Structures are given as C-alpha cells and as structure tokens.
C-alpha cells in the first residue's frame, strides 16, 4: 500500500487535466435562480464523476422544485467497511446567466479566474481528484457519501432537511467550501435574515404636516436601534442592507421595510437578538411594526470533535510538508446544519484563493494541487478505524 509520500508527484502529473476539468465546470453556468442551467450543470457533474471515479454504488435524487435538485451519491470503500464520511458540495453560484460572456474561465500563471471557481467549484474538483488519487495509489479511504445541492447561495431552503437527514448517517462531515486565505474553518457564525415592516399613515407632507405618520421616519429610528444592538466583542453584527419606502417626496410614507442581516457566534446571542426584534416598537403609537423572517443557519461551534478532526488534517499537512491553520468566520455554510446536530465538521477544504462573490474571484492552481493531496491524506486517516460514536442533537444517530 502506498504512503502519502507518493501523493504530490501523482497529483502534479495530472495538473493540466485538473485545470481543464475546472475550466469545463466553471464554463457550465449554474446560477441559483435558473433551474434549467442548474439541471444542465448537475448533468455535467454526474457525467464527469462517472468518467473520473466511476458510477456511485447508489444514487438518490431529491426534486428541488423551482430550485436546484439535490443528488446523494454513495461511494463505498473497497471493503465496504469502516466509517462513513459525508462530503458537502453545492453546485450553484451567485453569478447570473451570461456572466461568462465577458468573464470566461481564464488561466494566468498560477491564477485561475472565473465565476464560481473559488466559491465553490474548485472544491469539488479537489475532492474528486483526491478520491481518484487514492484509488490509483492504493491509499485507503472511508465510505463516502457526496451530497450535491443547488440552493446553498440562497440559504439552502430545500436542501437543508435533506442534508440533515444524510449527515447523521455518517461519522464526520467534510465541507469543500473555499478556504479562508488557506485556513480551514472550524467555526462559523449563525445567520438570521429578517424583514422589519412599518405601516404608517399617508398625508400631504406640505399642506398638512401634522397629519399622518411617516413610515420612513419610523423605520429610520428602528434602523439606528437595530445597529445599536450589535456587539462586536461577542461576535454579533446587525446590518440593514436594504431599505424601501414611500411613494412621492410630498407624501408621508405609508409603508417602509428594512431587510436585516444578523450574524451571531453563540446561541445566547441569538436569543438576545430575538428579544431585540420582539421588542421593536414605533415612536408614534399610530404606526405599527411587524418582523418576519428567521434564523437561516445555526451557529457552527468549534466542538472538541471538530478540533480533533482539524488535528488529523494538521497531521496530514505536516506529513506532506506544508503549514495549515484554522479560523472562525462570519459567513455560514451547509456545515452549520451538520454541526448543530453534534457532528464533527471540517469546513474550508476547498480552494485556496480569494474574492468570493466578486469579479476578483480567483484560485491558486498550486493550492488546488496541495489541497487535493490534503483531502486524499485526510480521507486515508479517517478510514483507519471507526471513530467513537458521538452524541447527536435532535435525535440523531449515536
């Protein structure tokens, strides 16, 4: 059986093919809001998976309705024994159809650019080539369940229950989202998306200034209150990113809305923010306030099991001869769902680069090769023996 020493050389030999795979994948546009393109993209992925690592032992599809479908693909180990590991990869991107027309997949030295390359198409390329490397070099790996969803960039509204159902059937969860400047993500904030709506009373602003109630005046006061509820030391941010209201400059606004993004690092802070939202009251008693929305993703806490999982990745990186760090980030992913169920989750195993959701999005090709080796080595370590069962929340597997 081969050791990890043979990985870098083998992966380097396939550099050009890996880059071509990424180029082909990025060139298959998969915006979250285009079902037809999402279907085509998933069809491309499944065909490519068959060419690279063969047919899955089992395949289950969940209809996403107007959103992207979810594919659950099982790739058992050769001996079909030992632990199951779940890999989470979303195939949708934030980039609208037609973006490739003026921003095609491009290679410039070590840099690969293109819509969705960093977030997170590069991650799937790395995972699949890690599995191919393991098969070619005789490296062990655990049974692997790959979950592909097409609605992550809009909060995973359809795929969340599917993800929660699938991850509890395994021991560890690996998320191939992009790294944070090379660091793996062992903690993520919880995210809430809310809308605050104020109803006022319209009146002529010039002829009858004492009449009516301005919903815009009311919402402006509430925005200051909401922003004042942030606690950066506790990791809590609140941001009203969108305001709408009114009909004319000479009419007191009868309706105004504020769209609010909330990030928290603990369940205690989430409960505090719930209290803040529940306590919003209008300055003028004639106005009314309504809050809708909710918590989109729970907090991903750095548990002892997650810390241990990072320790395994750190040991692999050390054996391969490169440094590896961990970090906590404000963004959320599908890994948050798994962590809330009590599972060890290692996130950020994807591309090394920068510029998520921006035209500056890029990944390092050398980094892609390095992280492919890391993924193969980590899978080999996770296959050695089944881990001690972990206690799961919400009636999960133990």
Q: Give pLDDT tens digits for 277-289.
A: 999 999 999 999 9
Least Cα distance to 40 among 26, 56, 29 occurs for 29
Tokens of 326: 């961990």
Least Cα distance to 64 among 30, 94, 87 occurs for 30
254 has pLDDT over 50: yes
Task: Name the CATH code of domain 4-188+300-383 (choices 3.50.30.30, 1.10.10.10, 3.40.630.10, 3.40.50.970).
Answer: 3.40.630.10
Mean pLDDT to the nearest integer, 193-214:
97
Per-domain residue ranges for the chain? 4-188+300-383, 190-297
Residue 153 DSSP code: G
**Strands, DSSP E only, in the chain?**
58-62, 70-75, 84-90, 106-108, 111-113, 143-149, 172-175, 184-188, 190-199, 237-245, 255-264, 288-297, 326-329, 345-346, 353-354, 362-364
Mean pLDDT to the nearest integer, 101-119:
98
Mean pLDDT to the nearest integer, 80-89:
91
Mean pLDDT to the nearest integer, 178-182:
98
Pair 367, 182: CB distance under 8 Å: yes
Q: What is the CA radius of gyration of the chain?
A: 24
Residue 206 DSSP code: T
351 has pLDDT over 80: yes
Instruction: State residue 82's pLDDT score.
Output: 82
DSSP of 82-98, one letter per residue? Answer: S-EEEEEEE--BSPPTT
CA distances to 199, 253, 284 from 245, rounded to whole Å, are 10, 6, 17
Residue 295 DSSP code: E
Cα atoms in the Cβ-side hemisphere of radius 13 Å centred on 213: 17
Q: What is the mean pLDDT of the chain?
A: 95
388 has pLDDT over 90: no
Cα atoms in the Cβ-side hemisphere of radius 13 Å centred on 11: 28
State how far the Cα of 166 lies from the Cα of 147, in Å rounded to an integer.
8
Q: Which residues contact 386 (CB under 8 A, 6 or more apart)?
A: 82, 83, 171
Cα atoms in the Cβ-side hemisphere of radius 13 Å centred on 139: 25
Give the pLDDT band of residue 384 (cuts 50, 70, 90). low
118 has pLDDT over 60: yes
CA distances to 163, 261, 307, 343 from 397, rounded to whole Å, are 14, 32, 20, 10
Give the pLDDT band of residue 387 (cuts 50, 70, 90). very low
- Cα dihedral 364/338/58/74 (nearest 10): 40
Instruction: State residue 354's pLDDT score.
Output: 98
Instruction: State residue 372's pLDDT score.
Output: 98
Give the containing element (helix H, strand E) for 17.
Answer: helix 15-26
Cα atoms in the Cβ-side hemisphere of radius 13 Å centred on 246: 15
Pair 310, 303: CB distance under 8 Å: no
Residue 117 DSSP code: I
Instruction: State residue 3's pLDDT score.
Output: 79
CA angle (147 as vertex; 263, 135 as ends), nearest 5: 125
Q: Do domains 4-188+300-383 and 190-297 have the same CATH topology?
A: no
CA angle (120 as vertex; 44, 151 as ends), nearest 5: 75
Among 69-73, 77-81, 111-115, 317-321, the range scoring the smallest mean pLDDT is 77-81
% pLDDT > 70, the chain: 96
Mean pLDDT to the nearest integer, 362-367:
98
State how far the Cα of 335 lies from the Cα of 77, in Å rounded to an integer.
23
Instruction: State residue 392's pLDDT score.
Output: 43
Least Cα distance to 52 among 21, 29, 31 occurs for 21
State how far the Cα of 172 lies from the Cα of 345, in Å rounded to an integer.
6
Determine the topology of domain 190-297 in CATH.
Alpha-Beta Plaits (3.30.70)
164 has pLDDT over 60: yes
393 has pLDDT over 70: no
State how far the Cα of 301 lies from the Cα of 264, in Å rounded to an integer.
11
Q: Which residues contact 98 (CB under 8 A, 6 or more apart)?
A: 29
Phi/psi of residue 353, nearest 5 degrees: 175, -145
360 has pLDDT over 80: yes
394 has pLDDT over 80: no
Tokens 């991650």 locate to: 123
Among 71-80, 117-126, 171-180, 354-363, the range scoring the smallest mean pLDDT is 71-80
Length of the chain, in residues: 398
């Amino acid at each position: 059986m081969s050791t990890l020493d043979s990985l870098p050389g083998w992966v380097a030999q396939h550099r050009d093919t890996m880059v071509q795979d990424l180029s082909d994948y990025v060139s298959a546009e998969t915006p979250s809001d285009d079902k037809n393109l999402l279907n085509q993209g998933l069809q491309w992925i499944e065909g490519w998976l068959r060419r690279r690592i063969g047919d899955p032992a089992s395949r289950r599809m969940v209809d996403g309705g107007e959103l992207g479908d979810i594919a659950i693909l099982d790739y058992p180990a050769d001996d079909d024994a030992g632990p199951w590991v779940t890999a989470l990869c979303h195939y949708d991107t934030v980039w609208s159809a037609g973006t490739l027309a003026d921003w095609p997949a491009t290679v410039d030295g070590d840099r690969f650019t293109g819509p969705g390359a960093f977030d997170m198409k590069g991650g799937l390329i790395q995972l699949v080539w890690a599995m191919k490397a393991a098969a070619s070099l005789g490296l062990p790996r655990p049974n692997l369940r790959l979950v592909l969803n097409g609605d992550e960039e809009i909060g995973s509204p359809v795929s969340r229950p599917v993800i929660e159902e699938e991850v509890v059937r395994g021991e560890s969860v690996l998320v191939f989202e992009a790294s944070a400047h090379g660091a793996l993500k062992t903690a993520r904030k919880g995210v809430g998306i809310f809308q605050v709506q104020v109803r006022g009373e319209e009146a002529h602003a010039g002829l009858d200034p004492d009449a009516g109630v301005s919903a815009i005046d009311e919402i402006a006061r509430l925005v200051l209150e909401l922003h004042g509820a942030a606690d950066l030391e506790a990791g809590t941010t609140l941001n009203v990113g969108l305001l709408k209201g009114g009909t004319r400059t000479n009419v007191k606004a009868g309706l105004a809305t504020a769209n609010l993004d909330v990030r928290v690092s603990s369940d205690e802070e989430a409960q505090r923010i719930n209290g803040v939202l529940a306590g919003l009251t209008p300055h003028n008693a004639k106005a009314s306030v309504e809050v809708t929305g909710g918590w989109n993703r729970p907090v991903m806490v750095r548990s002892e099991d997650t810390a241990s999982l990072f320790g395994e990745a750190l040991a692999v990186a050390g054996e391969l001869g490169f440094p590896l760090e961990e970090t906590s980030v404000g963004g959320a992913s599908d890994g948050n769902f798994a962590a809330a169920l009590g599972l060890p989750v290692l996130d950020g195993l994807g591309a090394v680069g920068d510029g998520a959701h921006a035209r500056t999005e890029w990944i390092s090709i050398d980094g892609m090769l390095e992280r492919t080796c890391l993924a193969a080595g980590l899978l080999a370590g996770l296959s050695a023996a089944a881990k001690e069962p972990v206690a799961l929340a919400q009636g999960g597997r133990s």
